[in-house]
Amino acid sequence: MKPDIPLEERIIFALDVDSPDEARKWLDRLGTHVRFYKVGLQLFLAGGLGLIEEISARGHKVMVDLKLFDIDKTVELAVRELAKHPVTYTTVHGPESIVRAAVAAKGNSMRILAVTVLTSFDKHDLADLGLPGVEVEQLVLSRARRAMEAGCDGVVASGLEVQRMRQQVGDGFLIVTPGIRPGSFADADGGDEQKRATTALSAIRAGADHVVVGRPIKNAADPIAIVRQLQNEIVRGLQQPV
């Protein structure tokens, strides 16, 4: 785990909204409490690279979460284009050759994160993909190891797999954890597609560097209160690592 990440950058807020105007409202609402934002496929198609430039101009970092998956050369060229913009993290998906192509094109400032297994997946989804009998954790750890060997900067993985992964990859490898729910909410039915959710406290204690949070903040009556609650969990997790 990287110890020098500022607290306001530990939470990556998922800007899963349908317009640049709505994204700007969230930038205004969260102010300086959150300094890292995720732009996924929906918002990227709505706002494009211009919105990424705007978020950066406000003093924030940006994670572009497009989960790039294509032939190696296409991924390489896409990453090369993204590297011309103020993007801190970019996600890729797929086998080692795709990861290597992305790493080769990332430039000096952008970091590549390999997606291991989506937090909306469980063993039944793996069976549907033609991987019956494969345990999720087994696949996550295997993909993390191969990503590191390919020169990747880190991975996106559920908090449920972080502890064993951190033991496997060491301290210098970035781990970004989505599917975060505040407090005990991760143990309840979250009413969404996440099947492998966990808390910020658990993820950070296990060794995650960042947590990606969307709905719990976006749907809250007091978003700043939820941010502070999550940040308190993060501080406790940093003070009490597993």
Residue 242 maps to a domain: no
Position 198 in a domain: yes
**72 assigned to some structural domain:** yes
The domain in which residue 228 lies consists of 7-236
- The token duo for 15 is 């800007």
User: If 0-12 CB within 10 Å is exposed, 13-18 middle and 19+ buried, where does residue 117 land?
Assistant: buried
Q: Over 70: is that where the pLDDT of 196 sits?
A: no
What was the pLDDT predicted at 219? 94
pLDDT, residue 136, reads: 73
pLDDT for position 209: 97
Neighbours of 112 (CB within 10 A): 27
**1 lies in some domain:** no
Is 200 inside a domain boundary? yes
Say if 194 falls within a structural domain. yes
Mean pLDDT, to the nearest integer, of 217-226?
96
Rounded mean pLDDT, 62-77? 96
- Domain assignment present for residue 40? The answer is yes
Question: 67 catalytic, yes or no?
Answer: yes
Report the distance separating Cα 19 and Cα 17, nearest Å. 6
**Is a pLDDT exceeding 50 seen at residue 194?**
no
In the chain, what is the straight-line distance between the N-terminal and C-terminal CA atoms, in Å? 12
Classify burial at 111, counting beta carbons within 10 Å of its beta carbon; exposed 0-12, middle 13-18, buried 19 or more: middle
Which of 188, 176, 180 shows the shortest CA–CA distance to 116? 176
In tens, the pLDDT along 92-121 reads 998 899 999 999 999 999 999 998 766 666
pTM value is: 0.89
pLDDT band at 186; cut points 50, 70, 90: very low
Please pick, among 61, 67, 84, 123, the residue that the annotation labels catalytic: 67
**In the chain, pLDDT over 70 holds for what percent of residues?**
89
- Residue 241, domain member (yes or no): no
- What is each CA distance from 157 to 20, 161, 167, 220, in whole angstroms? 27, 7, 14, 25
What is the Cα–Cα distance from 76 to 200, expressed in whole angstroms?
A: 33
Q: 127 pLDDT band (50/70/90 cuts)?
A: confident
Arithmetic mean of pLDDT, 45-60: 96
Q: Count the domains in the chain.
A: 1
Q: pLDDT per residue over 13-39, tens digit each?
A: 999 999 999 999 999 999 999 999 999
CATH of the domain at 112: 3.20.20.70
